[in-house]
Homo-oligomer: A and B are copies of this chain.
Amino acid sequence: MSLTRRFALAALSATLLPAPAALAQPDPLPSWNQGLGKHTLLAFIARVTREGGPDYVPPAERIAVFDNDGTLWAEQPSYFQFQFALDRTKALAPQNPAWQDRPAFRAIVAGDAKALSALSHKDVQEILAISHAGMTTEAFARTVAEWLATARHPRFGQPYDQLVYQPQLELLAHLRASGFKTFIVSGGGVEFIRVFAEKAYGVPPEQVVGSSVVVKLQMATDGKAELVKQAQVEFVDDGPGKPVGINRFIGRRPIIAFGNSDGDHQMLQWTAAGSGPRLMAILHHTDAIREWAYDRTSQIGRLDKALDEANDRGWTVIDMRRDWKWVFPFQRQVP
């Protein structure tokens, strides 16, 4: 710990010394260690919700946006949605014997990690189309739900939707209890995330913004209207797409934005460019023991330019190893 940080913490301890009445309040973020990160979050929320205070923000404008992969749940060793696409393609292979002539599909069926890492852009597009298109929106949601119920993460042996971050679940709940609307703004597929976001995070489908494929209305053989997913990308909610997606879906500039990679950079910049109080936060993956440690050179969730700007502008950088008591719910030690 640097001298500066020790001083800052000592100053915090003094100013945060609770009044007797406050002692009775339970800690809304019990999985966060005491420190600058936790203090910044709690102080900001208190500041914008104090009626009559100079930085009061009315509830209708309390919009908080969170990236998903690497911010609310893990994203290693590969994005979970890509693993879903591989598993789904593998499951469909027996009904598609012609795929055996294709090296990419043989690699998927064999689980050949080296060959998989060398998939061409065209292969990846085709795998995404096979696993995400040519079916109704309801049928797709069912395949995602079945996958979540049966697939297990290679390192932790848990269902993928158990690899959510316990400290972030507490932050989302505290924000909502403080009158915020919490949104997910993800580069991942909107229809993929909506399947589990309500149960996992308490975020309803209408508060998920994400990438999408074209969807078309058609009449089923029984004469009923249905929506069918097409193998054509409609919107990529990543990088500069994130402010565009927020504007399109939410129509209001957030006052809190939380990300973890350069894909969140423009969302953080656009949030920062608004007037009035605002909080930009980045989760830095520094915990190789309990989760993973990666940043500037990672193929997945690269955090480089956004980290520089965070340091330059004093955005809040959360250090996973130092700021979080535990990472996943299943690692939690209840005394």
B190 touches A251 (CB 8 A): yes
B217 touches A244 (CB 8 A): yes
Question: Which residue of A204, A225, A227, A273 has the most chain B CB atoms within 10 A of its CB atom?
Answer: A225
Q: Hey, what's the 0/1 contact readout for A209-228 against B, CB within 8 Å counting as 1?
A: 00010011100000011110
Interface residues of A in 239-257 (CB under 8 A from B): 240, 243-244, 247-252
A240 touches B217 (CB 8 A): yes
**How many subunits of this chain does the assembly comprise?**
2
Contacts of A63 in B (CB 8 A): 206
CB-CB under 8 A for A251 and B217, given A181-B206, A273-B224: no
A217 touches B243 (CB 8 A): yes
Contacts of A212 in B (CB 8 A): 248
A8–chain B nearest beta-carbon distance, Å: 28
A248 touches B190 (CB 8 A): yes
CB-CB under 8 A for A206 and B251, given A198-B60, A225-B273: yes
Q: Hey, what's the 0/1 contact readout for A64-90 against B, CB within 8 Å counting as 1?
A: 000000000000000000000000000
With both beta carbons as reference points, the residue of chain B lying nearest to A227 in the complex is identified as: B247
Count how many chain A residues have C-beta atoms less than 8 Å from C-beta atoms of the other chain: 36
B215 touches A250 (CB 8 A): no
With both beta carbons as reference points, the residue of chain B lying nearest to A245 in the complex is identified as: B215
A243–chain B nearest beta-carbon distance, Å: 5
With both beta carbons as reference points, the residue of chain B lying nearest to A195 in the complex is identified as: B251
A273 touches B226 (CB 8 A): yes
Task: Determine whether A266 belongs to the interface, using a CB cutoff of 8 Å to chain B.
Answer: yes
Given contacts A205-B251, A215-B248, A225-B266, 11 further A-B contacts (CB under 8 A): A60-B198, A63-B206, A181-B206, A183-B206, A194-B251, A206-B206, A206-B250, A206-B252, A217-B243, A217-B266, A217-B270
Q: Which A residues contact B (CB, under 8 angstroms)?
A: 60, 63, 137, 181, 183, 190-191, 194, 198, 204-208, 212, 215-217, 224-227, 240, 243-244, 247-252, 266, 269-270, 272-273
